[in-house]
Chains A and B, each alone.
Chain A
Amino acid sequence: EPEVTQTPSHQVTQMGQEVILRCVPISNHLYFYWYRQILGQKVEFLVSFYNNEISEKSEIFDDQFSVERPDGSNFTLKIRSTKLEDSAMYFCASSDTTDTQYFGPGTRLTVL
């Protein structure tokens, strides 16, 4: 069964550094998402992406964040200058024309 994959599974970085989290959505899906879950808190929506542009974003998704679909298979989340509070599990999801979002296993980002 096709699934969303994410790399790396765990990323450790220093405060102020840039990180790029990578996702490979399910191949025929057109809608892509990033969510995050800070330890002990709810899963929170960050951004959705369709037709090569952001379709929806939350207040969390400020100028420090950006998303890109650099080729036909990858979907990336970039954090330009990481802060301690960016430490979280980041989930990528994708959807086709049905009403279901399929989630990847997540990348745990630790900012030191």
Chain B
Amino acid sequence: AQSVTQLGSHVSVSEGALVLLRCNYSSSVPPYLFWYVQYPNQGLQLLLKYTSAATLVKGINGFEAEFKKSETSFHLTKPSAHMSDAAEYFCAVSVGTGRRALTFGSGTRLQVQP
């Protein structure tokens, strides 16, 4: 069975600083990997996805993630944090296709300090 580990339940950065949210996955077959963001009182919004094409994936709002098979990682980055990036971020994995069940990590709450 697949699993996801997100290191750091809370991350705090200053506005303009680099954002790095960590995600490691475990899967016996090539995975599909996703980052979702959840703003307060809203649903989960897809930021970006990896589906075995390019290993560097660009998403919305300036976020990107790099699939590293050797490290079983899919870390999310953004060069310069904005106050509006404050939210909870979830990494998720599925196998076979992205239409299979998603297995989520426990989430990382990002705080952006002025």
Interface residues of A (CB under 8 A from B): 4, 31, 33, 35, 41-45, 48, 56, 58, 91, 93, 95, 98-106
Contacts and interface: CB of A to CB of B under 8 A. Distances in A.
Nearest to A9: B41
- Give the bracket for the number of chain B residues in contact with chain A: 20 to 34
Contact of B99 (A4, A91, A99): A99
Contacts of B94: 99
Interface of B: 32, 34, 36, 41-46, 49, 51, 90, 92, 94, 97-107
Given A43-B92, A45-B101, A48-B100, 11 more contacts: A42-B107, A43-B90, A43-B107, A45-B103, A48-B101, A56-B100, A58-B101, A98-B98, A99-B32, A101-B102, A103-B44
A56 B45 contact: no
B98 A95 contact: yes
